[in-house]
Copies of this chain bind each other. A is one copy, B any other.
Amino acid sequence: MDVGELVDRVPRGDRRAVARAISLVENTAPQLREIMAGLAAHTGRARVVGLTGSPGVGKSTSTSALVRVLRDRGSSVAVLAVDPSSPFSGGALLGDRVRMQEHATDSGVFIRSMASRGHLGGLSWAAPHALRVLDAAGFDTVLVETVGVGQAEVDIAGHADTTVVLCAPGMGDSVQAAKAGVLEIADILVVNKADREGARTAARELRQMVAQVDRGPEEWKPPVVSTVAAKGEGVGELLERIDQHGSYLRGSGGLDSRRHARARQEVEAIVVGALRDRMGTVHGHADLDALAGDVAAARIDPYTAADRLLRALDRSAPK
């Protein structure tokens, strides 16, 4: 399938074309520029919902349960499972997709795992590019599932319209969850495995913490939803909350500003990548590697090294 065909077929929702385009994203293929240019006019329609949380809280099960309620409504759904930590664990993550098998034969569901290569910034451009492909393919909702506490969550919040943070009783108490900074990025908090001991306490503590974060008078207050995703319990309510957050975003102008910020990050990541490539190719003992050697040997400090590299970059910039 050449680029012309891909650009033609992806917007018609051709699954093989979508899968192929995402593989090109994963492999940083040179055709990406042309594909993205061809798909640009078809983007901006899908709702992007991020799901994140520590390992073991039930993200895959919750994602699968959400797919079910969305399909019951007749919405088409794409799932992008991103592992921001490692190029090596793609296999393990794919194995986990076994929980998604019930949707394997449903033509209204597209499921894809992707490792984001452990590069600085995690999701920085691979996941946003894949989101672009899925958006252009016409899926009503794209669920982005990512494992992680910390930077990965901050990243996903930057790429989703609505961010759902999951926790579970017994997986570290909710104080620990708050410590990991989830409250600031969560649009919706979920206590999954709510049939377990400690679930009520966890939900109550999370509500108290949400109340303590000052978000201004007009701002969205993240609801705390209790679910037992493995049995489908509470998942309908979760979807209602996601819908409500969507309405809030459209009404408040927040959707535009989130999507603007997302585009900004995408462009910035591409530019920074290009500038990084240049850093390794500057000549005259002013390239990154040589300067790093001087810093490691305590001959110069990193700012002096950075100044020299910047000057060399500026001198070598194409006119």
Contacts and interface: CB of A to CB of B under 8 A. Distances in A.
Nearest to A125: B302
A251 interface: no
9 contacts: A33-B301, A40-B301, A55-B180, A85-B151, A121-B121, A132-B302, A149-B149, A267-B288, A317-B317
Contacts of A289: 264
Nearest to A175: B92
Contacts of A260: 292-293, 296
Nearest to A260: B296
Interface in A74-115: 83-86, 88-89, 92-93, 96
B272 A295 contact: no
Interface of A: 32-33, 36-37, 39-44, 54-57, 83-86, 88-89, 92-93, 96, 118, 120-122, 124, 128, 132, 146-155, 170-173, 175-185, 213, 256, 259-268, 270-272, 274-276, 279, 288-289, 291-293, 295-306, 309-310, 313-315, 317-319
What is the total number of copies of this protein in its complex? 2
Nearest to A318: B314
A262 B152 contact: no
A57 B181 CA distance: 17
Contacts of A152: 148-152
A156 to B, nearest CB: 10
Nearest to A33: B303
A216 to B, nearest CB: 14
A56 B173 contact: yes
Interface centre among A170, A181, A310 (most CB of B within 10 A): A181
A88 B213 contact: yes
A279 B274 CA distance: 13
A27 to B, nearest CB: 16
Given A33-B303, A86-B181, A170-B170, 10 more contacts: A40-B300, A85-B181, A120-B121, A120-B155, A148-B151, A148-B180, A171-B171, A259-B296, A264-B289, A272-B272
A259 B148 CA distance: 27
A262 B128 CA distance: 27
A303 B35 CA distance: 10
A122 B85 CA distance: 13
Nearest to A93: B179
Contact of A120 (B86, B124, B298): B124
A44 B298 contact: yes
